[in-house]
Amino acid sequence: MAVTRTPFIAGNWKMNLDHLQAIAFVQKLAWSLADARHDFADAEVAVFPPFTDLRSVQTLVAADSLPIAYGAQDVSAHDSGAYTGEVSGAFLAALDCSYTIIGHSERRTYHHETDATVNAKVQAAHRHGIVPVVCVGETAEDLERHGASAVPVKQLRSALEGVDGSKGLVVAYEPVWAIGSGQAATPEQAEKVAAALREVIAELLGDQVADATRILYGGSVKATNIASFLREPNVDGALVGGASLDIDEFTSIVRFKKHVGA
């Protein structure tokens, strides 16, 4: 059976743009995509601003019926209570967030998030009807020691333990050494790991979920290399950091179909 997964281009803003800048940015991005006559059947577009921007982005997207999805960069494993500084999935759902990133390597590194934390956060997102964008990826040292797929496969196995596959899932393969380095993985390498990750999903959540799940590549994605990743059968989009903050560049990434045949 032929699978159709709508490509997904996600902009991870990280800790950039306050709520006023976010409003201007999303407005301009919508204009830029409209100017380019972007067909959203070719690629779904989502932005992941800081928590403090989400209410403003929600208001703008709803008021102007913009075809841009949005989500958070993290979610608490807990729903409410004495967890200072945490943000509940219930609050994100109340802001109509469709997605939340979980287990980004910067959270794993700077906030010591473990595979168990990532799993608990995936379940928390699902409790509130939010689709997790689960990030996995190996460090340069892991790559040298174990090859490219061993660590991402282990991380994904743990992230998906006991998870209900019917509640939606996006996976992002982001080699840690490729993030913000200007040195992206090769498309062949991304494909190899994405295929291994899809097998994990099939094994744990079934073939149907595996077929439907979008697997993104992330790490130094730019307008000049996006098409080569999207040509791979198991790569269904990109999680874009730095380049998602430049409207022309991000628009060009979203419009990868224009350069995919090149």
Q: Which residues are catalytic?
A: 104, 174
Closest distance of CB 12 from ligand PGA, Å: 4
Residues 189/220, Cβ–Cβ less than 8 Å = no
For ligand PGA, give the closer residue by CB, 131 or 209: 131
Instruction: Answer yes or no whether residue 241 interacts with ligand PGA by CB under 6 A.
Output: yes
- Continuous H helices in 130-234: 140-146, 150-159, 187-205, 207-212, 226-230
Instruction: Answer yes or no whether residue 240 interacts with ligand PGA by CB under 6 A.
Output: yes
The size of the interface with ligand PGA (CB under 6 A), counted in residues, is 13
For ligand PGA, give the closer residue by CB, 45 or 240: 240
- Residue closest to ligand PGA when measured from CB atoms: 241
For ligand PGA, give the closer residue by CB, 195 or 245: 245
Closest distance of CB 122 from ligand PGA, Å: 17
Distance CA 139, CA 87 (A): 28
Does an H or E element contain 127, and which?
A: helix 115-127
Closest distance of CB 81 from ligand PGA, Å: 30
Instruction: Answer yes or no whether residue 11 interacts with ligand PGA by CB under 6 A.
Output: no
* Residue numbers 157-176 binding ligand PGA by CB under 6 A: 174
Q: Which stretch binds ligand PGA (CB under 6 A): 80-88, 187-195, 233-241, 254-262?
A: 233-241
Comparing CA positions, the residue from 3, 17, 7 lying closest to residue 242 is 17
Closest distance of CB 74 from ligand PGA, Å: 13
Distance CA 158, CA 153 (A): 9
**Which residues, listed in sequence order, are joined to residue 193 by a DSSP beta bridge?**
none
Residues 126/115, Cβ–Cβ less than 8 Å = no
Burial status of residue 29 (CB atoms within 10 A of its CB: 0-12, 13-18, 19 or more): buried
For ligand PGA, give the closer residue by CB, 92 or 238: 238
Instruction: Answer yes or no whether residue 249 interacts with ligand PGA by CB under 6 A.
Output: no
Instruction: Answer yes or no whether residue 218 interacts with ligand PGA by CB under 6 A.
Output: yes
- Structural tokens at position 189: 């390498």
Instruction: Answer yes or no whether residue 221 interacts with ligand PGA by CB under 6 A.
Output: yes
- Structural tokens at position 164: 């209900």
Name 173's Cβ contacts closer than 8 Å, sequence gap at least 6.
136, 137, 152, 190, 193, 194, 197, 215, 216, 217, 218
Closest distance of CB 217 from ligand PGA, Å: 10
Residue whose tokens read 């797929």: 149
User: Going by DSSP bridges, is the β-strand pair 99-102/69-72 parallel, antiparallel, or unpaired?
Assistant: parallel
Instruction: Answer yes or no whether residue 219 interacts with ligand PGA by CB under 6 A.
Output: yes
Closest distance of CB 106 from ligand PGA, Å: 7
Residues that bind ligand PGA (CB under 6 A): 12, 174, 179-180, 218-221, 239-243
